[in-house]
Amino acid sequence: MKPTDFSKRLTDFLICYLPGEKGVSKNTIASYKDTFILFLTFMKDEKGIPANKLLLKQLTKENIVDFLDWIEESRHCCTATRNVRLAALHSFFHYLQYQCPENLLEWQRILSIPVKRTEKTSINYLSLEGIRLLLEEPDRLTRNGRRDLALLSLMYDSGARVQEIIDLTPSMVRFDVPCTIKLIGKGNKARIVPLLDAQMKFLKMYMAEQKLLEPYANMYPLFSNSRKEKLTRAGVNYILAKYAMQARTKNPSMIPEKLSCHTLRHSKAMHLLQSGVNLVYIRDILGHTSIQVTEVYARTDSRQKRAAIEKAYTDVTPEATPIWLANDDLLEWLKSFSK
């Protein structure tokens, strides 16, 4: 069967353009691929056009809008997910502007589709006591328990994203003073995160037990399953959810119902901020592209806001006793007023 113009362009976009010209990470490419799998499913099920017959001329603004509505209404995805799918499509149509300029007007119509506004939710993070409670749950007497403790403690101590933890290898860990780990973040950007010796103790014990300190294991996954395969996002989320559920039974007020791997990253950022660490350093540790992204933690920290307000309010607080109470005649008159 002869390939269509759409299949040619999509293949070139995913295999050549994104990794070669744009230098996009494999995780972003995987996300884009998932978007187009959904789009092909939509076009087949809702529009009656199978993947092997889909043409570029059928990529209209109306079809793209219908697809985005289908994601929200039929698949019950949130607005944020819709916007992620739209970002992938926008990237493809930016590419098509230069590859197929004969349809430039339609590509620009599609690029004019705006992202939807999402409700800004407050940052979900654990207190220091909540982190301690969570990290007490893994059973250190079992092999998996020791692995899970090393995994969760490193995720918190480094403020790493879940994919950054999954992609770690032993070669990216340095136990020389100062102890550091190398994280590969969004856009394949690497950063070095320093850690204290005390923070690395569980990781070092785990690596020694798993023989991951040996030179031949340098490129093995740092955290793996029973088949020695690196953990998946679902696997890490399962581990966190298991211990969160256990900790919640002990103290539900410390462990919220909505808890994700990103919660540990938020928690680390908030604890650094509350300890007085400069936002610039927090930005570098988290791997944010700009200080404006990191400032969201400062806006969220109600403890610092309260302390600042109390400090300002103390200077202008009037006498605790109202002035009229010092006036004996007025006080006597008020007391007799209701008699």
* Model confidence, pTM: 0.71
Give the 3-state DSSP-derived string for the chain, with helices as H, strands as E and coil as C: CCCCHHHHHHHHHHHHHHHHHHCCCHHHHHHHHHHHHHHHHHHHHHHCCCHHHCCHHHCCHHHHHHHHHHHHHCCCCCHHHHHHHHHHHHHHHHHHHHHCHHHHHHHHHHHCCCCCCCCCCCCCCCCHHHHHHHHCCCCCCCHHHHHHHHHHHHHHHHCCCHHHHHCCCHHHEECCCCEEEEEECHHHCEEEEEECHHHHHHHHHHHHHCCCCCHHHCCCCCCECCCCCECCHHHHHHHHHHHHHHHHHHCCCCCCCCCCHHHHHHHHHHHHHHCCCCHHHHHHHHCCCCHHHHHHHHHHCHHHHHHHHHHHHHCCCCCCCCHHHHCHHHHHHHHHHCC
Residue range 110-123: mean pLDDT, rounded = 83
Q: Tell me: pLDDT of 268 over 80.
A: yes
Q: Tell me: pLDDT of 325 over 70.
A: no
Q: What's the CA dihedral at 322, 323, 329, 331 to 10 degrees? A: -10
Residue range 5-14: mean pLDDT, rounded = 95
Residue 206: closest CA among 224, 190, 188: 224
Q: How far apart are CA 41 and CA 64, in angstroms?
A: 13
The per-residue pLDDT for 324 is 47
Residue range 129-157: mean pLDDT, rounded = 94
The per-residue pLDDT for 273 is 87
Q: How far is the CA of 98 from the CAs of 28, 64, 315, in angstroms?
A: 21, 20, 63
The per-residue pLDDT for 125 is 87
Q: 217 or 328: whose pLDDT is higher? A: 217
Q: Which CATH architecture has domain 5-111?
A: Orthogonal Bundle (1.10)
The per-residue pLDDT for 332 is 64
Model pLDDT for residues 180-192, shown as the tens digit of each residue: 999 998 878 899 9
Q: 132 or 292: whose pLDDT is higher? A: 132
Report residue 274's pLDDT band, with 50, 70 and 90 as the boundaries.
Answer: confident
The per-residue pLDDT for 118 is 75
Report residue 23's pLDDT band, with 50, 70 and 90 as the boundaries.
Answer: confident
Q: What is the mean pLDDT of the chain?
A: 87
Q: How far is the CA of 223 from the CAs of 52, 201, 226, 264, 298, in angstroms?
A: 40, 16, 10, 17, 32
Query: What residue spans define the domains of the chain?
Result: 5-111, 128-277
Topology agreement, domain 5-111 and domain 128-277: no
Tell me the fold of 128-277. Answer: hpI Integrase; Chain A (1.10.443)
Q: Tell me: pLDDT of 299 over 90.
A: no
The per-residue pLDDT for 215 is 93
The per-residue pLDDT for 326 is 53
Q: Tell me: pLDDT of 93 over 80.
A: yes
Report residue 121's pLDDT band, with 50, 70 and 90 as the boundaries.
Answer: low
Model pLDDT for residues 49-86, shown as the tens digit of each residue: 999 999 999 999 999 999 999 999 999 998 989 999 99
Q: How far apart are CA 224 and CA 235, in angstroms?
A: 10
Model pLDDT for residues 213-243, shown as the tens digit of each residue: 999 999 999 999 988 899 999 999 999 999 9
Q: Tell me: pLDDT of 335 over 80.
A: no
Range in 144-148, 169-173, 303-307 the model is least confident about: 303-307
Residue range 155-163: mean pLDDT, rounded = 93
Report residue 297's pLDDT band, with 50, 70 and 90 as the boundaries.
Answer: confident
